[in-house]
Amino acid sequence: MQLSFQNDRVLAVVAHPDDAELLCAGTLARARPDGAVIAICVLCRGDKGQPSKKVANLTDLRRKEMAASAKLVGAELFTGDFPDGTLMDTPRARSKVIEIYRKFNPTLVLAHAAEDYHPDHRAASLIAEAASWFCASRGHRTRSPAIQTPPALWWMDTVNMSGFNPGFYVDISQHVGLKKKMLACHQSQLARGNDTDFSPLEEMMRLQYRARGMQAGVEAAEAFRAHFAFKRGRAW
């Protein structure tokens, strides 16, 4: 079976500025040359990801880092602007994300899995799922009109694969270079590699795409599960 993103509009909805790089950047990089239009929506500012050598305007810096990374893969960037650690599935957060869906009109949303480790990731998961239904509901009013069809939704792998049971894999062997370059845009976070409250991101990312690749019989892969809720499934 050949997976093609040819007619897709793919929107990755993530909690923090470097989450898309870790969990789905290879898939975005693969979707782009297929002809897909792609976008990344980062819900939190990244304002609490301070390296031990403090950065004065961390929110501004992280905004620049995520913009540079999105540009590399040719993705439009949307932001939720919520402070780190405060993201919750509230009516306000849903409205914000519903409006982003209506502006971008995705055919496929990539969202954090419910079993991910970080409370912001789990909140982002709930919000992304709720918005995937309500974006097509005329009764839920935001600035833009409701879109015609709810997008399909895939749950992304969890950070370090904990508790995630893959449904399928996307072969990203040809796109590892771009995934790495995108992660390299997040210098403020790579600087936290040896901090006790953080992890060496490059190594963690490499181990993950290699392990998922090994499970799928390719050099490198990203894992997902399809969300087969009413109107969010799709046929290939």
Which residues bind to Zn ion, rule: CB under 5 A? 15-16, 19
Q: At 188, is the secondary structure helix, strand, or coil?
A: helix
Q: Is the dihedral of CA 76, 157, 102, 9 positive or negative?
A: positive
Least Å from the CB of residue 116 to Zn ion: 8
CB of 97 to Zn ion, least distance (A): 16
State the residue for tokens 């109107």: 231
Smaller CB separation from Zn ion, 8 or 19 = 19
Which residue do the tokens 């771009």 mark?
Answer: 178
Question: Least CB distance from residue 118 to Zn ion, whole Å?
Answer: 5
Which residue's CB is nearer to Zn ion, number 173 or number 199?
199
- Residue 49 CB, nearest distance to Zn ion (Å)? 9
Of 181, 208, 199, which is closest to residue 70 (Cα–Cα)? 181
Determine the residue with CB nearest Zn ion: 16
Of the pair 22, 136, the CB lying nearest Zn ion is at: 22
Cβ atoms of 66 and 25 closer than 8 Å: no
Long-range CB pairs of 204-207, under 8 A, 24+ apart, other chains included: 204/22, 204/159, 204/160, 205/21, 205/22, 205/179, 205/180
- Residue closer to Zn ion by CB (options 15, 37) is 15
Is the CB of 59 or the CB of 105 nearer to Zn ion?
59
Asked if 126 contacts 89 with a C-beta cutoff of 8 angstroms, the reply is yes
